[in-house]
Structure 1
Amino acid sequence: MRIPCPFCGARDSREFVFRGDAQPVRPGGDDAGAMFDYLYLRDNPAGAFEELWYHAQGCRNWLRVTRNTVTHAITDARLARPEPAA
């Protein structure tokens, strides 16, 4: 699988570290139930899914990659950090 890095171009997925679903937000406070859900209960959808990838053997940027989990086709890859305000 080739991942299109915004800085390095299309690179082999072995240059990246997969970190999973890009959507969950770590819960605050002392709610053990919410923390359990955050750590262990994840969706496993078929179709388009947004994931976090770290380009460890390249530019060392975090990317948000939209990938089809059935076909592995990548439709979008962008920096995970927000774009600076103009």
Structure 2
Amino acid sequence: MLLIRCPYCQMERPEAEFKYGGQAHLTRPDPNSASDAEWTDYLYFRANPKGEFGERWRHSAGCGRFFNCRRDTASDRILATYKIGESRPAAG
């Protein structure tokens, strides 16, 4: 089981208290000018790398807030967690 540190609560808690929210740092296309292909890309296609990956999580059984996380998908190790709006921590 993963132990995830919520950057708002400042506590490390079991993964069961959190909900995965998908890939982090996605930019929503402008609905007034985006093509069908751009919307399809945004809605359905995500990166699936082996190694460091930016994710969004929600502390559903705690403060209820979304935050970002850097996780190594090969080792399942949490590298960093940080608040929405904060700069992405440097890669390790």
TM-score computed with the length of structure 2 as normaliser: 0.81
Q: Which of 43, 49, 63 does residue 47 from structure 2 map onto?
A: 43
Give the root-mean-square deviation of aligned CA atoms.
Answer: 1.5
> What's the CA shift for 1:23?
2.1
Please say if 1:52 is aligned against 2:53: no
Q: Which of 24, 27, 42 does residue 26 from structure 2 map onto?
A: 24
Q: d(CA) in 1 for partners of 2:73 and 2:13?
A: 19
Match of 1:75 in 2: 79
Which residue type is aligned with residue 20 of structure 1? Answer: G
Aligned residues: 83
TM-score computed with the length of structure 1 as normaliser: 0.87
> What's the CA shift for 1:82?
4.2
Structure 1: unaligned runs, 5 residues or longer: none
Match of 2:90 in 1: none
Structure 2: unaligned runs, 5 residues or longer: 88-92
> What's the CA shift for 1:8?
4.2
Q: d(CA) in 1 for partners of 2:4 and 2:11?
A: 8
Conserved 8 A contact 1:8-1:58: no
> What's the CA shift for 1:77?
0.5
Identity of aligned residues (%): 33
Q: d(CA) in 1 for partners of 2:60 and 2:27?
A: 23
Structure 1 outlier segments of 4+, above 3 Å: none
